[in-house]
Structure 1
Amino acid sequence: MPTEYSNYVDGKWTESRTGNVFETSNPAHPGETVGVYQQSSEADAEAAVEAAAAAAPEWANTPGPARGKILTETASILSDRADELTETLVREEGKTKPEASGEVQRAIDIFAYYGAKAADVGGTVKAPSGRDSRLYTVNEPVGVAALITPWNYPIAIPAWKLAPALAAGNAVVTKPASLAPAVAIGIVEALESAGLPDGVVNLVTGPGSSVGSTFVTHEAVDAVSFTGSTKVGNTVYGQAAPDQKRVQLELGGKNPAIVMPSADVDEAVEIAATGAFGVTGQACTATSRAIVHEDVYDEFVEGVVSYGEGLSIGDGLEGADMGPHVSESELEGTLDYVDAGRREGATLETGGERADAGEGYFVEPTIFSDVSSEMRIAQEEIFGPVLAVIPVSDFDEAVAVANDVEYGLSASIVTNDHREANRFVDEIEAGVVKINEKTTGLELHVPFGGMKASSSETYREQGDAGLDFFTISKTVYDNY
């Protein structure tokens, strides 16, 4: 039997006022219903915001260490439920079990990290110009934060928004993506068990057009943090702008991995392929383009094709190397890009078809060679396991091609030339820059965010930067 889930508003698990529900299914076995959720309305979203606004002053006045204790306990509860949450994530989103387990552990680590950091949300002391005075800053929560999260990292991204928001003393309303809400609800269950006061966190499931838009536009919401597509993110930004709300957007990517002649080609293949095909390519930081020097191009193509063809595809709970797309529409979108690559003259080296791995939304790892930078498969975010391999003649051309897209999220270079590595750091247009590492994978204690169309370029997430977005500073001049 599928699990039935409720909204969480003002400390109570409640049904939507619409009386309607929606279901999620297992992308490896589409006939299997995983969860039943509330199909909420504007009225449900408004009730959540009102509860958060009422709870915000008391939570803001709760000492930081006390807030941190609740977050630390939340991490412990999530750890106790890790196996259950991992299986739920696999069944609802489609990741392999190791990928899902790693994501659940990431959420646990984030709550533990911000549980400790909550004691640091204070301010700074500066030296005044005159005698008999003090000059310092005080950091305060912004108030009510609206968090809208995607389906591709359905527990990690809610965690890295919720934990700093709560550590900083904000009340929260949140809407998880409708394709995979279960593990985000698991976070709220853990927060409730840890003793979070009523109304401080409120979760409502349902359409972005009703729930999400109400959160973004409600006059009692002070800040909006959104992760998702660039198209939707631009809409969110436009909705929040009239009220001058604080906005944080993390959006799409078209991430390059440059491979230079000094690189170990086997290592370069491993870096590019794991970045391209991990989590079925359904990551904003996934490697979408391999920009390879002509001296090692043929060897690289041969290696990466062998890697892709060696991956097993199937149910993530049954030991597969790569799981399904999250939905039929995502699968169709990837196959449409494969057709576009063929039409534009790229060489399909391997893959490009629906995989024969059962009834689910499976696709073969796909590699195109002879790709030029103006092709759609080299310009547009695909969000699937498709790697475009582009030949270049030197370092300058490689960086120019890497920057020749509207996005600027993550980028890597594989090289043993120290000068090339440092020039890459200076010249690449990306918020996350990696040397001899895959474009995916993030440390939780350093800032994360993109440039250009990958981000609002306002505030970064994670680490100390994650707290910056959720606090506002007062400067105090104390002449005694």
Structure 2
Amino acid sequence: SAYPLVKTALASHNVRSIAHGVVAARHMGVPEHALEIQMLYGMAEPVKKAILEMGIPLCEYSPMGELLPGMAYLVRRLLENTSNESFLRKSFAEGLSPETLLSPPQIPDEPTSPESTKPAWPGPYGPEPPRDFGKAPLRENFARAVASVGRALAGTHPILVDGKRIVTSRELISVNPAHPSQVVGRTFLATREEAQRAVMAAQSAAHQWAETPVRERAGLLLRVADILRSRRDELAALQVYEVSKTWREADADVCEAIDFCEYYAREMLRLSQPRSMDPMAGEANHYLYEPRGVALVIAPWNFPLAISTGMSMAALVAGNPVIYKPSSLSPITGAALAQAVREAGCPRGVFQFLPATGTETATWLVEHPQVAIIAFTGSREVGLEILQRTASVRPGQQMLKRVVLEMGGKNAIIVDEDADLDAAVVGVVQSAFGFQGQKCSACSRVIVLEEQYHRFVQRLVEAARSLKVGDPVDPSVQMGAVIDAGARNRIQNLVELGRQVGELLFQGEVPKEGYFVGPTILGGIPADHRLAQEEIFGPVVCVMQAEDLEQALEVANATAYALTGGFYSRTPANIERIKREFKVGNLYINRKITGAVVGRQPFGGFKMSGIGSRAGGPDYLLQFLEPRTITENTLRRGFAPELEIGKSGPPVTGE
């Protein structure tokens, strides 16, 4: 439809695909000389003859270059053309009729697993699809949302406790990392007084919320999801300003928040189904779950809506009242979540929005004897401090606190000697530099087998050079600013250290205003150096060499973390070995290592990456529940029916 500005070239040996392209061009009024069909030299000669007879331009191409890649290309083509689904095989080798070959492709129905645990209500879970900003209407709608949110910045958002709005004498100001002079919004810092009121409100609401039917609690989550969905562009645009997310990253965060609501609502319905244990004559054994109590949710700034929603909604749907403390670097997005929960009809006292500093009020809340659960996502240092503080029993405390921690990673991608370098480079760039490397799942190390090292580095540097860094209000920007001046200075100091210890292979240019760090690639860093061992949380990746897969695995596993990892290879035996020996919570083969989807890739790690079950998975809600077993003797030994009768009639004398 963009003719004559864009010329269409269709590369295919599938007659149906070619015919579809030709008919589509004619339908749009594109002359046949403006359409080019591209086919390999020596393949499908009868098809080429027919195309030329129709007067359509035909381009024949043949691979050129080094011998080994050429042989690999030839083998791949042979495998493709002889596969069971190949059009060429079906037409030339198997002789299927033209009617069969040209019939519309059919997608078979997915089989229903007899072991499926999805409840009948409210229907099966499915992830929220991301926006396709390649489509003009969606792009224009989001641009309007970004402009609208930008005009409405600097609003004030009070604390929310027991359904009441509270202001204090201390303001918390959120600024735009790309333009630090721009105020995104204001909220108020809670003191111990507000924190105590929040605990009391949550404790008062705990019993009634626990007794609320699971369907009603799940219904609350579904209403929150609907509200987030209706404000999707607005909430994503807010993150463009508050945490400097690009359009796609911001939209993905809102999608994930919606997914958590939808998934956990269904999971709680599943878990609430009555379960009878091993049957035994004369005895009934029932296994059930009950809420634990007041939950404290301490959220990070890097996924200010998604992770906040995930932890909070998990606690809520399990029947626990929540005290939600957003990050002090993204409180306005946290306030938007609190508003959505309030509008969804959450009862008073069940959800408290409590902006606070970690060193004062949050620490006091962690130690409070009435707080039963702490769900935290953030740094290793703070996570370990929480774990240490909850190990001590305080006066008046009648339970052992349950702690759910997600603390980060030092994630590696291994590039095998036969890896598709084009795919590996794309995966590393997305994993290392997406959202400026400020993801616990981000790639911080690339371990390349020696044979591929120099070619890989050359391509990686050029790919990083192509990234545009700037204010993500601009849709063409691929990297925004890091979160604040402290993060920028810390990352720059680590880059300087890398320059001294190893080699600075590349660092991108950045705007003068704002907290920007360009994509950075370091080489020659020893495997035991702090740059290869500690989480950087910025757009910095260390590229390392390994003699063989054995050494690559040894280096990859030799950190205190075990969160995400990746492997690019074409060798099935090596892939199977990686599955066995690469010890991480989320392992990705031949794809990027970020972007886990709720219900599809339950996310989390072990070692120093955290404790607890995987977020967005079938075990996650169990952390917010207390299991109980109830055993009843049904043989009725000593059963006195007269006592039952006596409840509605005169006393029985026993004579």
Give the TM bin, normalised by the shorter chain: over 0.9
Question: Distance in 1 between the 2:375 and 2:474 partners?
Answer: 35
**What's the counterpart of residue 90 of structure 1?**
240
Counterpart check, 1:35 vs 2:189: no
Tell me whether 1:452 sits opposite 2:607 in the alignment.
yes
Deviation, structure 1 residue 470? 0.6
1:310 is matched with: 466
Q: Deviations over 1:431-453 (max 9, x none)?
A: 11111122211121153221111
- Secondary structure of 2:618's aligned partner: helix
Structure 1 partner of 2:627 = 473
Report how many residues are paired: 474
Q: In structure 1, what is the Cα distance between the partners aligned to 2:545 and 2:229?
A: 46
Query: Map of 1:20-419 to 2, 5 A cutoff?
Result: 20-122=170-272, 125-128=275-278, 130-243=280-393, 244-319=400-475, 320-344=477-501, 346-351=502-507, 355-419=509-573
- Give a deviation string over 1:405-440, Cα, whole Å, max 9, x none: 111111111111122112112112211111112221
Q: Which amino acid aligns with 1:448?
A: F
Report if the CA contact (8 A) 1:26-1:34 is conserved.
yes
Range with greater deviation from structure 2 (208-217 or 287-296):
208-217
- The residue identity in structure 2 corresponding to 1:11 is G
Residue 220 of structure 2: SS of its match in structure 1? helix
- Once the two structures are TM-superposed, the CA of residue 376 in structure 1 deviates from its matched residue by 2.2
Paired residue secondary structure (2:183):
strand
CA distance in 2, matches of 1:437, 1:462: 20
Tell me the SS of whatever aligns to 1:91: helix
Per-residue deviation at 1:123?
5.5
Shift of 1:126: 4.1
Q: Secondary structure at the match of 1:30?
A: strand
- CA distance in structure 2 between the partners assigned to 1:451 and 1:156 by the alignment: 21
Unaligned runs of 5+ in 2: 1-152, 394-399, 635-655
Contact 1:301 1:369 (C-alpha < 8 Å) held by counterparts: no
> How far off is 1:137 after superposition?
0.5
Q: How much has 1:43 moved relative to structure 2?
A: 1.6
For normalisation by structure 2, the TM-score amounts to 0.71
1:414-433 paired onto structure 2 within 5 Å: 414-433=568-587
Contact 1:408 1:450 in 2 (8 A): yes
Give the counterpart letter for 1:382 in structure 2. Answer: I
Distance 1:260 1:169 in 2: 48
Deviations 1:439-468 (A, max 9, x none): 211121153221111113x43322222211
Q: Which amino acid aligns with 1:425?
A: K
Deviates more, 1:447-456 or 1:286-295: 447-456
Aligned counterparts of 2:387 and 2:172: Cα–Cα separation in 1:
27
Q: 1:312 is matched by which residue type in structure 2?
A: K
CA 1:214–1:298 in structure 2 vs 1: closer, same or farther (change >3 Å)? same
- With the length of structure 1 as denominator, give the TM-score of the two structures: 0.96
- The answer to which structure, 1 or 2, has the higher relative contact order (CA under 8 A, 6+ apart) is 1
Say whether the 8 Å CA contact 1:40–1:205 is kept in structure 2.
yes
Could you say what secondary structure the match of 1:288 adopts? strand
Match of 1:256, SS? strand
Give the AA of the match of 2:604: G
- Tell me if the contact between 2:256 and 2:597 (Cα under 8 Å) persists in the aligned partners: no
Q: Aligned to 1:425, what secondary structure does the other structure show? A: helix
| Structure 1 runs not aligned, ≥5 long | none
- Separation (CA, whole Å) in 2 of partners of 1:358 and 1:32: 15
Q: Shift of residue 204 of structure 1?
A: 0.6
Identity %: 36
3-state SS in 2 of match to 1:423: helix
Give the counterpart letter for 1:385 in structure 2. P
- Aligned residue for 1:316, secondary structure, equals coil
- Distance verdict in 2 for CA 1:129–1:64, change over 3 Å: closer
Letter in 1 for 2:241: R
Could you tell me how far 1:129 is from its partner in structure 2? 5.7
Deviations 1:186-207 (A, max 9, x none): 1111111111100101111020
Aligned to 2:646: none
Helix, strand or coil: the match of 1:461? coil
Quote the Cα distance in structure 2 between the aligned partners of 1:45 and 1:429.
40
Give SS of 1:464's match: coil
Query: Is the 8 Å Cα contact of residues 413 and 566 (structure 2) preserved in structure 1?
Result: yes
How far does residue 317 in structure 1 lie from its aligned partner after superposition?
1.1
In the alignment, the residues of structure 1 paired with residue 346 and residue 558 of structure 2 have an alpha-carbon distance, to the nearest angstrom, of 47
CA RMSD of aligned residues (A): 1.4
Distance 2:576 2:196 in 1: 50
